[in-house]
Structure 1
Amino acid sequence: MLLHARGIVKSYRRRRVLHGVDLAVRAGEVAAIVGSNGAGKSTLLKICAGLVTPDGGRVTVRGRLGYCPQNAGVMGFLTPGEHFTLFGAGRGMRRGAAARRGRELARALDWTVNRRTLAKDLSGGTRQKLNVVLAALGDPDVLLLDEPYQGFDRGSYLDFWRHVWDWREEGKAVVVVTHMLNRLDRVDQVLDLSPRTATGTTL
């Protein structure tokens, strides 16, 4: 078990978003989180990433964690290469190794990195590719991906899912927030969040 969220409760003001949610993801599993807008999908992922404190419940993560937010959280005044160096250093990677790994992951998403382009000048889809690359730097054991394919063209979208299945084969635990229901037959479990309940269904 690499990720175990138990009894997660979260409210904003008087509105309860998460109602005792459970999620358990083992090594070599992909879990999809689905639900309507406002159901708490992104909130749950932020709680699992340690960015938001739940009102109740507990999250246990074993190993290194990578997180890709829904909206690209990159720094506009840095180049992609500078992002690779900065994020890689935070995960104990040498500068050269981080740069090489970043470019390798980018190529797998059909993106050739221009070393001089600032992040603020990238298209929305390319900024999101940068976000996915940063989440995967440092070979994390657990990957939390919040609708990471926004702005991708069809080819990049399919490349992304091939990455997800490769990560599963490598023994990682992958959690993807998604509205793309046509891919749910290729994941190991689905956590369906509704306004009042949360249920997990293993496919």
Structure 2
Amino acid sequence: MTGDTAPTRAAEAVSDAALLTASGIVKAYGRGLLQRSSPVLRGVDLTLAVGEVVGLVGENGSGKSTLMRVLVGDLAPDAGTVTRHGRIGYCPQEPVVYERLTCDEHFELFGHAYRLPEQAERATRAEIYARLGFEKYAATRADRLSGGTLAKLNLGLALLADPEVLLLDEPYAGFDFDTYLKFWDLVAERRQAGRAVLIISHFVTAAERFDRIVRLHDGRAVET
């Protein structure tokens, strides 16, 4: 998870390479008794390059979360293609956890799903606990966590496999200011390590932390 203060040579050599490319993404949902089609995405194009941090903004209902689910492969588009290179880490807006499992058990479960060696999973888990500051909740069940700690677990599970592409839907909702700053330290390290990060936010208050801001408007992506 950690990175040096300068981009790696590998990242510099492929700085223009795309880790994720979405082309012409269309998605509509049926509404009402007659299931009339209501378009949400009308041909979205989006590219995430090596070492790039991109913000995705838009009004409520503009399709931000729908696009994120398409990018991660959780939702099939009606038209268009998504090309991914490397592992994808996904932090949904609503944490998907098992209420009766502890934080440790969640990391173990996700580690098995990612086929991580046990020693590597344990080491990364310990680092995530330390970096986000929730070690004392390692043995606490998910249904007994506060909203802020649950958000830390949600982010930690997305980071566990050190993915090449990190897709985050409102990841810092519920964070205190100290954790918010730690979050941006982690994002900066991923940029320096040649990873790509896409962050959904209702509004951007720290534009300088992003390489680009993309706005969803009328079902299409427009750079601001």
TM-score by length of 1: 0.94
What pairs with 1:37-56 in structure 2 (closer than 5 Å)?
37-56=60-79
Q: Does 1:99 align with 2:116?
A: no
Larger Rg: 2
Matches within 5 A, 1:153-168: 153-168=176-191
**How far apart are the structure 2 equivalents of 1:113 and 1:104?**
13
1:144 aligns with 167
What is the correspondence of 1:2-151 to structure 2 with a 5 Å cutoff? 2-13=19-30, 14-151=37-174
CA distance in 2, matches of 1:111, 1:180: 27
Question: In the TM superposition, what whole-angstrom CA distance separates every residue of 1:46-68 from its partner, at most 9, and x where no partner exists?
Answer: 00000000011100000111100
The answer as to 2:204 corresponding to 1:187 is: no
SS in 2 for 1:182: coil
CA distance in 1, matches of 2:156, 2:111: 11
What amino acid does structure 2 have at the position aligned with 1:47? Answer: V
CA distance in 2 between partners of 1:173 and 1:132 (Å): 15
Q: TM-score, normalised by structure 2?
A: 0.86
State the 1:92 CA deviation. Answer: 1.8
Where does the alignment leave 5 or more consecutive residues of structure 1 unmatched?
Answer: none
1:93 corresponds to which letter in structure 2?
A: L
1:130 corresponds to which letter in structure 2?
L
Aligned CA distance change for structure 1 residues 57 and 81 (closer, same or farther; 3 Å) = same
| Aligned-residue offset at 1:196 | 4.2
Please tell me whether the aligned partners of residues 49 and 65 of structure 1 are also in contact (alpha carbons under 8 angstroms). yes
Cα distance in 1, alignment partners of residues 88 and 19 from structure 2: 10
Tell me the matched-pair count. Answer: 201
Structural RMSD (CA):
1.2
Conservation of the 8 A alpha-carbon contact between 2:46 and 2:221: no
Q: Which amino acid aligns with 1:7?
A: G
Do the aligned residues in 1 keep the contact of 2:44 with 2:219 (CA within 8 Å)?
no
Q: Is the 8 A contact 2:53 2:212 kept in 1?
A: yes
Q: CA deviation at 1:198?
A: 2.2
| Amino acid across the alignment from 1:178 | S
Matched-pair contact (CA < 8 Å) for 2:91–2:167: yes
How far did 1:114 drift?
2.8
Cα distance in 2 for partners of 1:72, 1:120 equals 11
Question: Following the alignment from structure 1 to structure 2, what is the Cα–Cα distance between the partners of residues 180 and 20?
Answer: 23
Which 4+ runs in 1 deviate beyond 6 A? none
Give the letter for the 1:193 counterpart: L
